[in-house]
Structure 1
């Protein structure tokens, strides 16, 4: 395709072929999948075939409708990965309800912040999260019911058992009469995932039905090309790892795509090294969809050599950057057909840069996917040609609708010409392969999770002994980056680094803890308008790190 600006890269042709909602699409495809096993519990071996999955989702959808929930409403879920997880968003899609997954490690303060964005009517909770959620219910009066995936409470008017709702679902019959609630796929929000965008506290990313159906169509184009160019007809059926958290964009879209494609997803409630390695030969896993820390584990951990990993054909890595050396080492160690790095954001539905076909360049995150446009711009907003570093900007059907109830933040990331500014620095070569080199945005990536410095800085400033604070990431080979704080103490106040690390740990989820430590300084470097000069602090961290 030809662009009006020669420096704008345009992906291969994509033509929209469906106006269906996700509810209509899932209803049709899950009926066609019949008894194909779509998910397996890695620990117990319990299987979830398509017909049972659909029947449970339909029973839940009918219960939601009976309780007067429909388009315009939202429901939330706080749980680790498990077989029941996929039922709730499918039921939401079937009824036109917006699904809002939560990080199960959120603290009470984080839960309130995120729930206040979408104001769900129901929250589904596991045994691991129910106490934390229900104990704070006075903080979210808009929640009418709490649905327990595990029986740990006595039922009451607002606490209901999930098992009672889906009781009676069978595998030998499918409700052929049920019809999905119609919605406008271009406008209706299917899911709200949390992201920190390019800065600040978590924001609710509104992803429409069309964003996701477009991604499904685009992914199928890429998959067909990859299969045609790269795989043999005798290759075993694809079995994937569901170790990426389902509340995260990467894990959530993997869950949806595997169900729609009729592929088996092995579901892990958490990453346990031994369980993970044992499951690969046990379930003949062919494709690992994992963040870089698990790729590093496969290279470095001595127990890996004790397991037969020969079934693995491909590794797909996302959520954070993967170095060239790591990519080369894991490819050699596992004798892979493919190791693919993808690039995307929650705000772009999922990957917008990814390898296609058998052609791959080490260190590259691939080429632009069909239907999307990309430009690399300098600090003045001018588009740049090949091999020149700048901020990556995207336009097309995968760009989110916006941040819920936050037009200011939406305008900050999507400009008047509908270009989404990623906050990531990269370039493309003469053949259109993209490489990510740095970040403009302030986010810290710990094990693929986004950590917003502003959130931690705000918390630090609530401590009585802190006069000023700044948080940056410290590079770490195993997890990506560790949050590290520079702190200015108030005069005459006594506080230790350990005190502040504990103070933060008690108020945030695990990924946000100050694992990089706390360092006391005389002043935080700022520009004339008061903005923290993180570049100076990051350089200071690099010098500190090099001396270790």
Structure 2
């Protein structure tokens, strides 16, 4: 019963909650204690939301959903940009024992139908903007029973969030379980009970992660996964003002903000990124720390906006690799910056597997992604032999611990976990003698564009739908601001004179923005493949390099 010498163990911390606890209860009892402290500030409108109001709205919404028959076994979706209602909706749904699924509002019709077909939600909460985009598609979903809109404008056959989240005493006909009427003016935590769940096994959230198959997969995160992620040491200082622009339907935004809430910190947020306004918000709120993806930092460094950003001390950057020259430019742009912190993670590990923290800001290493988080274990294995590797030996990163997902919806867990129950990430990395981790490459073929995971196979499937294309292959090529962008290799159908611009337009019509062919189109006589028919992307990448040297 000895620890294995080449496994890297995170610090052992005793979780402060029992395993069966509902994640919503875990969050509610904490944020309730912060009373009228400010949880959220809309950086655009300056609208503020206190912890108490967030908690009350969540509890009121849970009661309304419960009265509508929502409970364990149900899936309820949220499709929205960052808004004040998002987290109260998320927490309120989880209170009922139901599972939340969060959907990217920028999905195309085909993408939306695919991901919703995985989880089959009976109710969807929509922002007005996202609703207008998807309303015709929603009408075709047989499993969808109700639509709830944020804001005050009601549409045909929809409910309004603000009516479901109103104070309990204003809900017509509401009574307690014993039949007595409610006399209190407002709900309080002491009189509220969440639905019991089995924290280690019941799914709290389904998020979507692209895989090598080219189609998004439903990642099942349990209540315990979420709790374990919140229990890990703080990445940023909860006592200081934080600025977030990462989308909350993504694990980086959702869990990143939830962790700050749990610690009582205030989050200033924006629903979309504009470099000048981003800088203006930093000045207006004297932001000390922010959580961003590399493209944001690049855009900010190039911005000519003249705002006072001297309050910024800590930046946490994730979702894509950060180049050394970018770090240098950031430090020049922000004169009082102490450190740019990084981490390595994915949806499947409920945010992060390794990370730097603000308490260790002086111990970061250039090009590194920090140390393994508390209560988790990482092993590096040889890609071919599966032998466990030691320090400074690159291999596949495998993860185990309480924050690692339950599995993918409808997929055999054994396909993605080894016989020791380690999740096989498909990423190549190593750790040094100080157990500090570095990422080398990806076994997976995903293209990382501005933090989005773009699957080449998904783009290839669309390309092959065009009658003028006989065959196609897609790889990522370096891009100054996006990290990587897709480049298509295309074989013309006999007699076809299809142009590059026509191909780009065809893909843009069918796939969302990150999947557009920004890296260009190269026409070839054939796509290199293995005897079994798999595209040899390594050869395509070599063709990219060879062309660039001409």
Deviation at residue 295 of structure 1 after TM alignment: 1.6
Contact 2:399–2:423, Cα closer than 8 Å, also in 1: yes
Contact 1:243–1:270, Cα closer than 8 Å, also in 2:
yes
Q: 1:362: which partner in 2?
A: 366
Instruction: Give the deviation of 1:168 after TM superposition.
Output: 4.4
Contact map agreement 1:195 1:450 (CA 8 A) in 2: yes
Matched, 1:62 2:63: yes
Aligned-pair CA distance for 1:286: 1.1
Give the aligned partner of residue 36 of structure 2.
35
Structure 2: 5+ residue stretches without partners: 170-184
CA deviations on 1:246-298 (whole Å, 9 max, x unpaired) are 11110111121122111111111100112111100111111110001112123
Deviations 1:32-52 (A, max 9, x none): 111010000010100000111
Question: Secondary structure, in 3 states, of the residue corresponding to 1:68?
Answer: coil
Q: Is 1:526–2:540 an aligned residue pair?
A: no
Structure 1 segment 389-404 matched on structure 2, within 5 A: 389-404=394-409
Q: CA deviation at 1:360?
A: 1.3
CA-atom RMSD, angstroms?
1.9
Name the stretch that deviates more: 398-407 or 536-545: 536-545
- Alignment of 1:372 onto 2:386: no
Residue 259 of structure 1 pairs with residue 264 of structure 2: no
Q: Give CA-to-partner distance per residue, 1:114-159, whole Å, 9 cap, x none.
A: 0011110111111211123321134321110111113444343xx1
2:393 is matched with 388
Aligned to 1:315: 315
Cα distance in 1 for partners of 2:256, 2:374 equals 19
Report the equivalent of 1:240: 242
Contact 1:147–1:160 at 8 Å: present in 2 too? yes
> In 2, distance between residues paired with 1:534 and 1:94?
46
State the Cα distance separating 1:3 from its structure 2 match. 2.3
Partner deviation per Cα, 1:185-221 (whole Å, 9 max, x = no partner) = 111111111101454210010000001111111235x
Paired residues in the alignment total 527
Matches of 1:283 and 1:169, distance apart in 2: 34
User: Secondary structure of the residue that 1:326 maps to in structure 2?
Assistant: helix
Q: Judge which range, 396-405 or 10-19, deviates more.
A: 10-19
Alignment of 1:15-414 (within 5 A): 15-19=14-18, 20-156=21-157, 159-168=158-167, 173-175=186-188, 176-220=190-234, 237-303=239-305, 306-334=306-334, 335-356=336-357, 357=360, 358-379=362-383, 380-407=385-412, 410-414=413-417
Give the TM-score, by structure 2 length. Answer: 0.92
Distance in 1 of aligned mates of 2:376 and 2:492:
48
User: By how many angstroms is 1:169 displaced?
Assistant: 7.9
TM-score with structure 1 setting the length: 0.92
Q: Which moved more, 1:384-393 or 1:102-111?
A: 384-393
Give the secondary structure class of the aligned counterpart of 1:472: strand
Partner secondary structure for residue 90 of structure 1:
helix
CA deviation digits over 1:317-340, x for unaligned, max 9? 000111223223323432312211
Distance 1:17 1:154 in 2: 44
- Pair 1:449 & 2:452 matched: yes
Name the stretch that deviates more: 533-542 or 13-22: 13-22
Indicate whether 1:14 and 2:18 are aligned: no
